[in-house]
Amino acid sequence: MTNRLHNLFGNRTVIFDGAMGTMLYARGVFINRCYDELNLSQPELVRSIHEEYLQTGAEVIETNTFGANQFRLVRYGLQDQVAKINQAGARIARQAVNQLKDKQAGMAWVAGSVGPLGIHLEPLGKTSLEEARAAFAEQIQGLIAGGPGVGVDLLVIETMPALNEAEQALLAAREIAPDLPVMALVTVDEEAHCLDGATPEVAAAKLASWGADAIGVNCSTGPATVLTAIECMAGASDLPLAVMPNAGMPRAVDGRNIYLCSPEYMASFTRKFLKSGVQIIGGCCGTTPNHIRAMKSATRAVEAQKSSAGHTARAPIVTETPPPPIDERSSLGRLIRDGKFVAMVEIVPPKGIDCSKELAGASLLAGLGIDVINVPDSPRASARMSAQSLCIQIQQKTGIETILHYTCRDRNVLSIQSDLLGASSIGLRNILCLTGDPPKLGNYPDATAVFDVDAIGLVNIVNRLNHGLDIGGNPIGASTGFTIACAANPGVPDIDNEVRRFAYKVEAGAEYAITQPVFDLRVLEAFLKRIESFRIPVIAGIWPLTSLRNAEFMKNDLRVAVPDTIMLRMQSAASPETARAEGIRIAQEMLETARPMVQGVQVSAPFGRYTSAAEVLAAVLPNVTVTKQDITEGTSVVKL
């Protein structure tokens, strides 16, 4: 052993305990209970499990606090009990260790278990890194309360699915308990990669750089995969190595999930772990005192090789492929770089397979001088032709460039990356990153939503792909070369949260923004002032209202800020034709006033009225021209 762990264990192999949850479940505690809360309500039950592990050879027992953080405890209404639950967990484990010393004069230690928060962190989720670090710090503070001999002897940050979360836990540990030994363990998939895609070598190098005293793998799919991962880690760091695998993958037997790896099987892998240089061994899900007893016996039978003298730390080399300058990625990027005012029109995909109307509309708009066509991704959670398909057809058949709207609603992080790689390969160069409307708003309210990430996380994924890396930091070759847009909604009630999320999107890599439809320019102006310190080019959304009912839908259903003056103007329209004309005039006025504030405008085409969008633009932009013949042709396009 080296560093702080040497003061506890010396240079010996150390045996940890096995699963706590498995044992609690076997004793009749249902899985819908908060297992961490048992430290308060059934401390003797928890203590009896600790004692059983100690009696079968475990030298370190972990506190029953794996999920004792505010984000997991809030599900049970226990978020204000973080300190009490963690203090009780340390106290119960300490009592079990002290009893062993009194009875057997043995030596054992208490490790504070710190598990993942159970949420996505920025940039893939809504929780900031600072909030995550604060939650870990709160838990660790409870585990060490009382000082040496009362609190824990070391910390085990375990089952970390993503390296950015492991980093925040390690930073919190070093801030709260700088002298306490800290182990950092990740969980891996069947390919021995972390769940965020990072390789074991990358994980080893980063965990070491963040201050871990020992690194390793726990949980995962079983000992075979853990062995593969730890062998990779051994070549990337000279820190002590730790493994605590599951007893294989669970299998459903008579309605219960059973872990089928026998104690003998786990013992056979213990010998393999030791020969690979592992110095700290224990068990995770499905392991019991019988498994630990067998693993202890296997350890005694093997003369463990001390890995600390044999490893040479070497950080893996990850080669990025930065994207070309924004003006070389797309025509839109060139317009943004040059500070030109951009004119966009939105074309919604059809609900069937016939997109002739949309293609005719795109061709008409291209001829009128529009710069880019925006294509939404199943807006309002409706089942439509894929935006990606319509984008590529518009580009191939009309020559005008498109912006692909892409939402997180329907895809996990695997399909997101697959889709984006495919989009880049077929020539799509502009992407608008959106969270997406939930299915309950659409025609299939019972459909399942995914939301592995939100818009912030999606921007981060696209930005990484633009630098030739997947979300795990693994090289993919050439840059995808997207121009990256994000959305902004200046009219939301909670503007502070909107500004905070917008800042995260910019930090994640957004290069320009497109707003939701704006009807109150005071709201837009106030929003632009709020984002001055992290301003990127902003494209204002403009919606030509078609009727009073359309205005009421905007205001009441979509919660867009529509001033009463505009509602009155639409109400005073005597006929559908005059209502549409009034809606165009309102949109033209907004565009003329907003133009000095923004770098472009996106005009929607309600109900496929593409010339209405062009009329709005033609009143202000000299390069956009609309004649009566265009309006006539546009009307015929609507009727296709």
Both structure tokens of 387: 């935006």
Q: What is the mean pLDDT of residues 399-423?
A: 93
Give the dihedral sign, CA 305/306/312/317.
positive
Report domain extents, the chain: 3-308, 326-546+576-635
| Share of residues in the chain with pLDDT > 70 (%) | 91
Q: Is the peptide bond before 123 cis (omega within 30 degrees of 0)?
A: yes
pLDDT(554) > 90: no
Tens of pLDDT along 370-401? 999 999 998 887 889 999 999 999 999 999 99
Closest CA to 402 of 326, 465, 344, 354: 344
408 is in an annotated binding site: no
What is the rounded CA–CA span in Å between residue 560 and residue 555?
A: 5
Q: What is the mean pLDDT of residues 9-32?
A: 90
Tens of pLDDT along 205-220? 999 999 999 999 999 8
Indicate the CATH number for domain 326-546+576-635: 3.20.20.220
Tens of pLDDT along 279-318? 999 999 999 999 999 999 888 877 433 333 344 444 444 5
pLDDT of residue 410: 85
Check residue 176 and report its DSSP letter. H
Identical fold, 3-308 and 326-546+576-635: yes
391 is in an annotated binding site: no
Q: What is the mean pLDDT of residues 165-185?
A: 95
- What's the predicted TM-score (pTM) here? 0.63
Tens of pLDDT along 608-631? 888 888 888 887 777 666 665 555
Q: What is the mean pLDDT of residues 468-497?
A: 90
Please report, for the chain, how many H helices and E strands are present, in that order: 25, 18
Both structure tokens of 24: 């609690």
CATH H-level superfamily of 3-308: Homocysteine-binding-like domain (3.20.20.330)
pLDDT(235) > 80: yes
pLDDT bracket for residue 559 (50, 70, 90): confident
pLDDT bracket for residue 505 (50, 70, 90): very high
pLDDT bracket for residue 257 (50, 70, 90): low
pLDDT of residue 630: 54
DSSP-derived 3-state class of residue 624: coil
DSSP-derived 3-state class of residue 41: helix
